[in-house]
Structure 1
Amino acid sequence: MTHKFFTAQQIATEISQFNRQLADSYRTLQSLTDCDTGPTPKDCIYTEDKLRLYKYRSQVADSCQTPLLICYALVNRPYMLDLDEQRSFIARLTASGIPVYLIDWGYPDAADCFLDMDDYINGYLHTCAEQVKRHSGQPRINLLGICQGGCLSLSYTALQPDNIKNLITMVTPVDFHTPGNMLSHLIQKTDVDLMVDTLGNIPGQMLNDAYAALMPMRLSLQKYLNMPGQCATEEQAAGFLRMEKWINDSPDQAGEMFREFVTQFFKSNGLIHNTVRVGDRQVNLKQIQQPILNVYGSYDHLVPPAASKALQGLTASSDYRELEIRSGHIGVFVSQKSRQTLAPAVSQWLTERDH
């Protein structure tokens, strides 16, 4: 093993270059007027409590008649899928002729602390599916669930299979007890009942801190040390700020929903053991016969590949396909590699099964 040593002059030069980059990036950031997100035009077609259901305006003639409903996780905001014009998964879908609808869960407050899985799945998600069917005039929908939203989508499809034509899960944990699941290891040691009984709703910032603690060097120190080089131009700086805005824009979690989800999915590994219950009904993944596209990130530290790939064989689907994106959890949607592969693959998969 060889070691590389730097001279005092080399160290001084590197520090000087970093200071210049830092000053330049500061001036660039000061020059920005805004860093808006969500550029793809959309219309709100339904509201209920904090929830908003959006239909994105079509850019071209529909290549797929069955509408696609996107069910995002509760713990972050869905504009990650439409961050800016260059990094918009949704814009690429609509440009390929996919009619896209999206659930925005909003920001729960103290009045929502008793909402549970029954309210979210049999209530909100089911109502949104019915609204999409009514708005589109189609008898069934395609459902795309992301991360926690994938767990909700799997549960909903098992409970309401007649409503779903095709199912897509993205960076979705299925086996919560895989060895490399650092987030699950952390949660196993957490007294979720004490948290909810004490706090009511779970603060979004608390969850953000927990995610950052899983990889503190990469997600905190290294990221900000690299920031000056990533903000050399206004476009780069705006992109950096949009990502920072999204990372820190974490809604609080409805207490009872958080309690039930952590207990049934994380602690009891309910999808693997077939023990998940929503209201008075048991979720049986064997009720899912629809085609399934399961997308996962090779370097995902929040949902390791093994946690997602465990879905294979748990359903009764005879048309199951996996799509590997060589990126991390968020990079699946915004990395340069995924921009050219994810949306085209999803569009093609849906169009081929639109019959």
Structure 2
Amino acid sequence: MRVKVDPKDALQEFADFSQRMQEGRRLLERTKNSDVQIATAPKREIWSQDKVSLYHYEPVAKRTVAAPVLVVYGLIGRQTMMDLQEDRSLVRNLLAQGVDLYVVDWGSPSRSDRWLTLEDYIEGYLGDCVERICEESGLDKITLLGVCEGGVFTSCYAANHPKRVKNLMLTITPIDFHAGDKDAPLHHGMIGTWARSMSASDVDRLIDANGNLPGELMSFVFSLMTPINSLTKYNVGLFDVMDDEAKLLNFLRMEKWLADRPDHPGEAGKQWLKDLYQANQLVKGEFRLNGKIVDLKKITMPVLNIYAQEDHIIPPRSSQALRTRVGTKDYTELPLPGGHVGVFVSGKSQGILGKTIYEWLKQR
């Protein structure tokens, strides 16, 4: 059946399209890099070693939670996502509620960091950060807030050093690296599928050829998980926001964060892919740091485990596996709507996340 199109409607639609394009072009032309700055919450560096830095955020409200909180992001990505923009920032949300907040920045690993291991990051750098915060605060325990791979780091540290950790909070953290939902879409958990499709020697060759696990490669792998969105975001997605300055700047901030993906140190990358994604050693009780088994049952402090219900990178069951592995009876789970990154940047999840973390902390 042929549909008749009124020429006047077609001309009007074309005129509207042209106007939006012109408005969008003018917005893009006057947008400067300074307009899309991310991670702008004031902070000061209080410790550094090699490429790693520890920052203390400037308080904006009277402290209401006794123990300091250290945010630990993973090596695959940047902690700047926690403070992407002023109105959607977990960092600013917690600061406004009186939380004493710190963050570790792993820097930009290069080929000179090829031989750094997970032991170096967890027992070395992270351990030094905890000690520095204890020294500055005058306390002997702090709260850890781990994000994704950083959640694995904090879980391991808490298991090995329970006397230094008052509370453990995890967000979108893999624990059982082989867990997934049978009815989930095919692209959910694709990182695990990709990692297990390689042999151990394949992983060795990948790292040996590049020195590190390239950030560009991981960006490509992540883009394959949502191929339609990856293919259309610079035409359909950008067109939808190009005549709205606030939405356009939000779009550009996210793209800026996505484009800034550092390399993952080589030896640590081998451990991440082979020992965890392939062999699933953490949940099996076989993962070792400095020759010592990481026993999750030694996590005896209160635990808050937050996961995303539509997470296509870390399936919910992968995070929920922690429930039966820890040694604490004070265990809380918080499922949030949205995906892996949406937990931190969507308006709906942001309000729930910050409020829940604060109330949970205050009760403890």
- Same fold at TM > 0.5: yes
Summarize the Cα distance change of 1:12–1:211 in structure 2 as closer, same or farther, 3 Å threshold: farther
Instruction: Find the partner of 1:312 among 323, 341, 349.
Output: 323
What's the CA shift string for 1:221-244, capped at 9, x where partnerless? 256412122232322222111110
**2:183 maps to which residue?**
none
Deviates more, 1:5-14 or 1:76-85: 5-14
**How far apart are the structure 2 equivalents of 1:260 and 1:12?**
60
Structure 2 unaligned residues grouped into runs of 5+: 181-187
The question of 1:189 aligning with 2:197 is answered yes
Q: Render the CA deviation track for 1:261-284: whole Å, top value 9, x for unaligned.
A: 111110011122111111211100
Correspondence list, 1:114-133, <5 A = 114-133=115-134
Structure 1 match to 2:26: 27
Could you tell me how far apart the structure 1 residues matched to 2:237 and 2:44 are? Answer: 38
The alignment status of 1:285 with 2:284, answered yes or no, reads: no
**Alignment partner, residue 148 of structure 1:** 149
Structure 2: how far apart are the matches of 1:29 and 1:171? 34
User: Residues 207 and 213 of structure 2 are in contact (CA less than 8 Å); yes or no, is this contact kept in structure 1?
Assistant: yes
Aligned-residue offset at 1:99:
0.3
**Gap change, CA 1:5 and 1:164, over 3 Å in 2:** farther
Larger deviation, residues 14-23 vs 69-78: 14-23
- Which stretch of the first structure deviates more once superposed, 188-197 or 111-120? 188-197
* 2:212 is equivalent to residue 204 of structure 1: no
| Contact preservation (8 Å) 1:117, 1:279 | no
2:273 counterpart of 1:270: no
The number of residue pairs the alignment matches comes to 350
Distance 1:163 1:16 in 2: 64
1:170 maps to 171
SS of 2:338's partner is coil
Q: Give the 3 Å change call, closer, same or farther, for CA 14–74 of structure 1 in structure 2.
A: farther
Cα deviation digits, residues 23-60 of structure 1 (max 9, x gap): 32222111112211122110100011001100001111
- Assess, with a 3 A threshold, how the Cα gap between structure 1 residues 350 and 220 changes in structure 2: closer, same or farther: farther
TM-score calculated relative to the size of structure 2:
0.92
Q: 1:11 to 1:225 in 2, by over 3 A?
A: farther
Residues of 2 paired with 1:346 and 1:6: CA distance?
A: 55
- Return the alpha-carbon distance in structure 2 between the equivalents of residues 324 and 224 of structure 1: 33
For the Cα contact (< 8 Å) 2:70–2:103, is it kept in 1?
yes
Q: Is the 8 A contact 2:21 2:243 kept in 1?
A: no
Please report how far the alpha carbon of residue 6 of structure 1 lies from its aligned counterpart in structure 2 after TM superposition: 6.6
Give the Cα–Cα distance (whole angstroms) in 2 for the partners of residues 154 and 69 of structure 1. Answer: 13
Q: CA RMSD in A?
A: 1.8
Alignment of 1:52-67 (within 5 A): 52-67=53-68
Q: TM-score, normalised by structure 1?
A: 0.94
Q: CA deviation at 1:197?
A: 1.5
Where does residue 98 of structure 1 map in the other structure? 99
**How far apart are 1:204 and its partner, in Å?**
0.5
Q: Structure 1: which 5+ runs fail to align?
A: none
Whether contact under 8 Å (1:32, 1:234) holds in the other structure is no
Q: 1:76 touches 1:251 (CA, 8 Å); kept in 2?
A: yes
Deviation at 1:8, TM superposition (A): 5.2
Q: Which residue of structure 2 lines up, in the alignment, with residue 44 of structure 1?
A: 45
**Aligned runs of 1:59-98 on 2, under 5 Å?**
59-98=60-99
- Kept after mapping to 2: 8 A contact 1:292/1:319: yes
Quote the Cα distance in structure 1 between the aligned partners of 2:141 and 2:283.
27
> Counterparts of 2:12 and 2:319 in 1: how far apart (Å)?
46
- State the alpha-carbon separation in 2 of the partners of residues 222 and 101 from structure 1: 34
For 2:125 and 2:17, the matched residues in 1 are separated by 50
CA distance in 1, matches of 2:152, 2:2: 50
Q: Give the whole-Å Cα distance in 2 for the aligned partners of 1:239 and 1:5.
A: 41
Kept in 2, the 8 Å contact 1:296–1:323? The answer is yes
**1:239-259 deviation per Cα after TM superposition (whole angstroms, max 9, x unaligned):** 111110000100011100100
Equivalent in 343, 346, 354 of residue 357 of structure 2: 346
Q: Is the 8 A contact 1:69 1:103 kept in 2?
A: yes
- Secondary structure of the structure 2 residue equivalent to 1:169: strand
